[in-house]
Amino acid sequence: MEPSTVAARLASSAVAPLVRKLFVAEGPGAGLVAEPVRVSARLSFTGERRTLSERELRKLAQELVARCVHAAGPAEEPAAEVRAELTDALVTALHSLGDLDMDDVQAVRLGPTGLAARLAAPPLLSQAAEARFRPLLHTACLHILHFFTQRSTFVARTVTEQTRALDHLVATTDLLAARLPSRTAEDARFEERYARHIARKHGETALYRLERGHGPGGGRPDFRLDSAYVSLEAAQEAGPPLAAERALAGRERVLLRGGAGSGKSTLVKWLAVTTARQECENGEPLTHLTHLVGRVPFVLPLRRVVREGLPPTPDRFLHAVGSSLAGSQPPGWTDRVLGAGRGLLLLDGVDEIPERAREAVRRWLRELDGDFPGNLWLVTARPAAVREGWLGPEGFAELSLTPMSHADVAAFVRRWHRAADAEPGAAEALLAVLRSSGDLRRLAVNPLMCGLLCALNRERRGVLPYGRGELYEAALSMLLEGRDTERGIQSTDGPRLTLAARVQILQRLGHWLIRNGRTELDRSDAVAQVGRALATMPQPVAVPQPGIPAQPVPPPQPGAPPQPGAASEAVFRQLLERSGVLAEPAEGRVAFVHRTFQDYLGAKAVVEEGDFPLLLDNAHRAQWEDVVRMAVTLGGPAERERILRGLIEPDEDGTPGPERLVLAAACLDHAAGISPVLRERILTLISRLLPPATRELARMVGRAGPVVLGLLPGPEEVSGKTAETAETAETAETAETAENIVITATRVATDAALPLLSRYAAHPALRVRRQLAWSWRRFDTDAYAEEVIARLAEEDLYFTAHTTAHLRALKALGGRARVQLVGEFGTGAFDTGELTELLVPERLTHLWLTGPGPSDGAWLAAFPRLSTLVLPKDTSEHVPRGVPGHITVVRGRFPG
């Protein structure tokens, strides 16, 4: 029986009274607020105004089934057991209305079929019941939606939604009109091709895993970028953190710092793809990213475009990156795009070009920005690659990517496993391991390491390595050996080397790159390095394959220099095409798929070759920091001691530099077997930097990790009194010191920091409490709420919520008068239905939105005590319509 047949036979008068019983009757004031209320809040069997009990819900379902059966006629009347099945299934479906996270307008937009699909699936039904349930549920949903359309507020609500959409369309059209004044028809046609090219080229990301038979020939494991992208946050020098993808909102120029694997390049790709598509990953318009409307992205990896120290001119942008459309661009197109201020220039990897070339890049930036004002610039670098304020004179704001929070890690793990089509339960099993293992949790602080853990969890069925060295070793084994073995692929093109031999060859390539300060090398140089590696191997190392004769590697002629012959070319080609570790970013150029593999393999070569003077001479350089850490991890006790003693050798002023000292302290967690005397010496030296005198030093010392927590003084040691009894004058003198200590401890971001932070939670200084409040995202939500948030004095303090989990925790604590929401509405962290439910009306007096809020402010009427609404300082964000008159709207960074 089709749904339309049932609906035609069943009169509205038979079903409408039953449907109305599901919902709370509207009170006198129900039509005054146009903001949507979620379906779950309207149900009569949930919430505070419950009028329909669970038993009555079942009786209602029985009656609905009975009326549908009666309408079908006596010839189609089912047996009693089938009617019981239908009743049980309908109760389950109707009860799941309470789980819907949408309002009535959104439900009507779904239609009856879409709404039915959102409701809970029934238990396993018999064939007779299955045939009747779908039309029964469709009919119920049809009448539910009809009921919604008859509500007094529905028409007004629909008009509001349409007005919002029209406002957005008008605003977007105005932006496009301003940004597309001189675009020719030829330019428009080319830009359509270019947008598709960018979306295709950068719209995939490699999630390291074994492909279980996917793809012809077993290509690299790529997935849609938006299936694995997790929004990270960027920290500002002052003010709250913000979503990294909004770093350019209200800013034309940004220098974004982030460590290895922190997601800098992924963010660059995401911005490029989103701009090219002119829509968000879920297909929604760029409502909250209007700064990207009408822009044209140019992705410029600096390691590729800076040749001989000379960056390209605009007409050579596409040529420099090896774009297949370079020859098709209309003459002067790039000049017209930049001249109209429509460009989005994404310069990735200042740390990946030689230091001598960085000043030329800075001059190039200054000249381009002067000649073509109004474009957006995002430049990325590792933290120590360039000094603070390196691009300050050019007007660049500096932001830093923050480590992934507990919520970020959970979201990443789930999205990764979903994109990789992993077995059910694998993601939750990994998250359970991360919660119980502090060492692995500390590794999973950036997308790269978290992705490696996901890949190994899937491949090894939950058996994970212990530390950083074991993690990379297992990842290389997976990529170099497991991928082809898993798919049963046997190479017949040249010799097949052992895993150890392939790692040795890759070590030589990594060593060459870090020694020469490069991240890419010419293919001819790579083949030559492979030949030299083969020449050092004492005997043929080919491994025979079933049914294929072994092909030994021919040894070099005695006395002859190593030459890149056929064997080295074949071995190199195998590594490039089959290993998953090497890539060819441009014709004739070779690089590791990620810089961190280069660092690991280079460090392995340094340790095995005893190249410690080279390591220590370059330890102060940003691109060597991870090499040093990995060398300590990979070395034996004697080698570790040699590296650590070299790091703490005094400079010309008689003391070791703070960067090298922090690096030595950060290595202690991976330096088993060193002498207690050396360990104590490093701790004594690092303690001389504490408490940190500046915010910059506090952030730097925080990179040393958990080892510094036991060295940080408590509030009593800073003030000479307990925090609760400190006098106002003493507090003013010590507040900066206390704040810097908190910055250091929160940068460590492990649960081991909670006891110290809990003691500082009682500090009276607002700047200290503010730092503690917005650092919540770095820790487990409930543990931090109990140990820190609950202890913070509320006076003048905005309690920061990054997620709805934070709001739930605040509600459990009784709510707070001042709340700061870090995130976006609709496409981001919050929606107004959740805020109405989770913010406590009796407490809320000040609400601070750090991102764009809804265009309609009428929902704020639900908070009668709310007196102040703080909006972003960026003047491009409009004040919402319909904000109640008793609420004052202000803008600011740290409002009162």
Sorted by where each starts, the structural domains of the chain and their CATH numbers stand as 3-157 (no CATH), 195-402 (3.40.50.300), 403-467 (1.10.1900)
Which of 31-35, 387-391, 783-787 is predicted most confidently?
783-787
Neighbours of 389 (CB within 10 A): 10
Tokens 């749904």 found at: 3
Beta bridge partners of 378: 254, 346
Residue type, 796: D
Distance of alpha carbon 23 from alpha carbon 181, whole angstroms: 53
Distance of alpha carbon 821 from alpha carbon 696, whole angstroms: 26
Residue 739 has pLDDT above 90, yes or no: yes
* Over residues 595-600, mean pLDDT: 86
Q: How far is CA 896 from CA 762, 795, 870, in A?
A: 20, 11, 10
Return the pLDDT at 545: 44
Helix/strand/coil percent split, the chain, to 5? 55, 10, 35
Both tokens assigned to 821: 């929401």
**Contact in structure between 572 and 534 (CB atoms under 8 Å):** no
Return the pLDDT at 559: 52
Residue 332 has pLDDT above 60, yes or no: yes
Strands lying side by side in the sheet with 799-801 = 799-801, 818-821, 846-849, 868-871, 888-891
Distance of alpha carbon 764 from alpha carbon 297, whole angstroms: 47
Distance of alpha carbon 454 from alpha carbon 431, whole angstroms: 10
pLDDT tens digits, one per residue of 52-74: 466 766 777 887 788 777 766 66
Query: Which of 48, 417, 25, 342 has the alpha carbon at shortest distance from 176?
Result: 342
Distance of alpha carbon 137 from alpha carbon 143, whole angstroms: 10
Query: Which residue would you say has higher pLDDT here, 163 or 770?
Result: 770
* Over residues 99-124, mean pLDDT: 66
* Over residues 808-814, mean pLDDT: 94
Percentage of the chain with pLDDT > 90? 28
Return the pLDDT at 139: 77
Q: How far is CA 556 from CA 525, 534, 566, 572, 702, in A?
A: 18, 9, 12, 17, 51
Query: Which residue would you say has higher pLDDT here, 809 or 212?
Result: 809
- Sort strands 888-891 and 868-871 into parallel, antiparallel or unpaired: parallel
* Over residues 815-828, mean pLDDT: 76
Alpha helices in 382-446 (DSSP H): 406-419, 426-436, 438-443
pLDDT tens digits, one per residue of 253-281: 999 988 777 888 888 988 998 899 888 76
- Burial code (b: 16+ CB inside 10 Å, e: under 16) for 527-561 equals bbbbbbbbeebeebbbeeeeeeeebebeebeeeee
Return the pLDDT at 800: 92
* Over residues 88-102, mean pLDDT: 73
* Over residues 324-334, mean pLDDT: 92
Q: What value does the mean pLDDT of the chain take?
A: 77
pLDDT tens digits, one per residue of 373-399: 999 999 998 876 788 888 988 889 888
* Over residues 835-841, mean pLDDT: 90
Residue 180 has pLDDT above 80, yes or no: no
pLDDT tens digits, one per residue of 112-132: 777 777 776 666 778 778 877
Query: Which residue would you say has higher pLDDT here, 496 or 217?
Result: 496
- Burial code (b: 16+ CB inside 10 Å, e: under 16) for 425-462 equals ebbebbbebbeeeeebbbbbbbbbbbbbbbbbbbbeee
> Mind giving me the DSSP string for 130-143?
HHHHHHHHHHHHHH
Q: Which residues contact 152 (CB under 8 A, 6 or more apart)?
A: 26, 30, 31
Distance of alpha carbon 823 from alpha carbon 243, whole angstroms: 7
Q: How far is CA 635 from CA 473, 627, 631, 810, in A?
A: 14, 12, 6, 47
Which of 209-223, 289-303, 573-587, 871-885 is predicted most confidently?
289-303
Return the pLDDT at 208: 46
Query: Which residue would you say has higher pLDDT here, 520 or 26?
Result: 520
* Over residues 172-193, mean pLDDT: 70
Query: Which of 714, 793, 801, 710 has the alpha carbon at shortest distance from 748?
Result: 710
Return the pLDDT at 216: 33
Q: Which range has the worst mean pLDDT, 121-130, 143-152, 248-257?
A: 143-152
Residue 769 has pLDDT above 70, yes or no: yes
Return the pLDDT at 462: 77
Which of 35-44, 159-168, 502-511, 830-839 is predicted most confidently?
502-511
Residue type, 770: R
Alpha helices in 183-329 (DSSP H): 185-202, 225-228, 264-277, 302-305, 317-320
Residue 562 has pLDDT above 50, yes or no: no
Percentage of the chain with pLDDT > 70? 72
Beta bridge partners of 799: 819
Would you call 154 exposed, middle or buried from its count of C-beta atoms within 10 A (0-12, 13-18, 19+)? Answer: middle
Q: Which range has the worst mean pLDDT, 182-186, 533-537, 749-753?
A: 182-186
Query: Which of 508, 433, 608 has the alpha carbon at shortest distance from 441?
Result: 433
Return the pLDDT at 336: 92
Return the pLDDT at 172: 54
Return the pLDDT at 368: 93
pLDDT band for position 425 (50/70/90)?
confident
Alpha helices in 299-405 (DSSP H): 302-305, 317-320, 333-339, 355-371
Return the pLDDT at 254: 92
* Over residues 650-671, mean pLDDT: 84
Q: How far is CA 483 from CA 8, 208, 408, 457, 590, in A?
A: 58, 10, 28, 15, 21
pLDDT tens digits, one per residue of 853-873: 677 788 898 999 999 998 876
- Sort strands 521-522 and 589-592 into parallel, antiparallel or unpaired: antiparallel
Cα of 166 vs its chain's centroid, Å: 31
**Contact in structure between 844 and 866 (CB atoms under 8 Å):** yes
Residue 742 has pLDDT above 50, yes or no: yes
pLDDT tens digits, one per residue of 615-635: 999 988 878 888 999 999 999
* Over residues 703-732, mean pLDDT: 71
**Contact in structure between 600 and 625 (CB atoms under 8 Å):** no
Neighbours of 98 (CB within 10 A): 15
Residue 438 has pLDDT above 90, yes or no: no
Return the pLDDT at 746: 92
